[in-house]
């Protein structure tokens, strides 16, 4: 009896020790975070950085689906505005068929672009009209040329941009519509804050200063084939939707596949439970 009591007592003491250790770790960690927050000076980037606006997207939610017309509008915005500086190196011309373009349209668009090639006579690097199997070409031959044309800021590839940024779709749309003058309140609170000579204030960008000039500036900058009014916000949302598709072309298909899988798993679970009840019911009768 005394031995059993000793074992229980040791178990209780060990449990109390671990509880106290976890509590101590939590308290010291919380204190360190609070102290760091108190000692760390406020910065303009921390105080004036804004979270992206939340837009309604057709592809959101478990039953989301692509709005094909929106994707086509977004592709047009990319092609006529963004492609001058930004590449889509992970997207092939033939992928555009998923947006509702037929084979002849894809071939014509690919042929209108010049892609890197090799001269069969000399073996030297050259360019040639694109084929549907080719990928979107970069607007610059290399990173040095890209930096030289953009004040030493290399424009990022946009293929996966909405995956590379938190809340990517909303981030891209907010960023494109977020250019503004530096707020007077920021200047007053942080008089030392200054943008670079080529910087543009945008509260949705991490350090508030964006090297890229506003790409979408006026309504009607792009003419949409379906008659949708091309406001700056509309163009921003459409190209953000298009870039969501380039980053996750299987997004909707994955959701559509997920529901049959969940239904199957639910059915299999119920079937397994009923089988277990039947098997153990027979075992119970034998025991009785």
Q: Let me know the angle formed at the C-alpha of 65 by 52 and 168, rounded to the nearest 5 degrees.
A: 20
Alpha-carbon span 86 to 76, nearest angstrom: 14
* Model confidence at 31: pLDDT above 80: no
Domain ranges of the chain: 52-91+136-249, 255-288
* Model confidence at 164: pLDDT above 90: yes
List pLDDT tens digits, range 109-156. Answer: 999 999 998 888 888 888 899 999 999 999 999 999 999 999 889 999
H or E element, residue 134: none
Residue 267 half-sphere exposure toward CB, CA atoms < 13 A: 6
- The domain covering 52-91+136-249 belongs, at the CATH homologous superfamily level, to Cytochrome c-like domain (1.10.760.10)
What single DSSP character describes residue 96? Answer: G
Region class of 123: left (phi > 0), else alpha (psi between -120 and 50), else beta: left
Strands 200-201, 125-129: pairing kind: unpaired
Query: Where do we find the tokens 């027979």?
Result: 282
| Residue 115 near residue 169 (C-beta atoms within 8 A) | no
When pLDDT is averaged across residues 256-263 and rounded to a whole number, the result is 88
Quote the pLDDT of residue 183. 94
Dihedral (C-alpha) 55, 61, 63, 68: value to the nearest 10 degrees?
Answer: 30
Alpha-carbon span 35 to 16, nearest angstrom: 28
């Amino acid at each position: 009896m005394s031995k059993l009591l000793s074992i229980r007592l040791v178990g209780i003491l060990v449990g109390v020790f671990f509880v106290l250790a976890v509590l101590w770790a939590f308290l010291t960690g919380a204190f360190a975070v609070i102290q760091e927050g108190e000692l760390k000076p406020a910065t303009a980037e921390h105080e004036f950085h804004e979270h992206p606006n939340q837009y309604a997207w057709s592809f959101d939610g478990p039953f989301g689906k692509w709005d094909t017309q929106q994707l086509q509008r977004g592709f047009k915005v990319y092609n006529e505005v963004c492609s001058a500086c930004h590449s889509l190196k992970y997207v092939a011309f033939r992928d555009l068929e998923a947006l509702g373009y037929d084979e002849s349209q894809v071939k014509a668009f690919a042929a209108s672009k010049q892609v890197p090639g090799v001269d069969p006579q000399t073996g030297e690097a050259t360019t040639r009209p694109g084929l549907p199997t080719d990928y979107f070409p970069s607007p610059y031959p290399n990173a040095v040329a890209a930096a030289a044309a953009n004040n030493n800021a290399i424009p990022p590839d946009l293929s996966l941009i909405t995956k590379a940024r938190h809340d990517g779709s909303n981030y891209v749309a907010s960023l494109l519509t977020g250019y503004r003058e530096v707020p007077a309140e920021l200047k007053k609170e942080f008089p030392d804050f200054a943008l670079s000579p080529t910087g543009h204030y945008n509260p949705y960008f991490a350090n508030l200063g964006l090297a890229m000039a506003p790409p979408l500036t006026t309504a009607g900058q792009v003419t949409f084939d379906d008659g949708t009014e091309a406001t700056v916000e509309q163009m921003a949302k459409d190209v953000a939707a298009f870039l969501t598709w380039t980053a996750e072309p299987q997004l909707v298909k994955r959701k559509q596949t997920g529901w049959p899988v969940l239904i199957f798993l639910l059915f299999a679970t119920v079937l397994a439970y009923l089988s277990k009840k039947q098997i153990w019911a027979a075992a119970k009768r034998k025991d009785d």
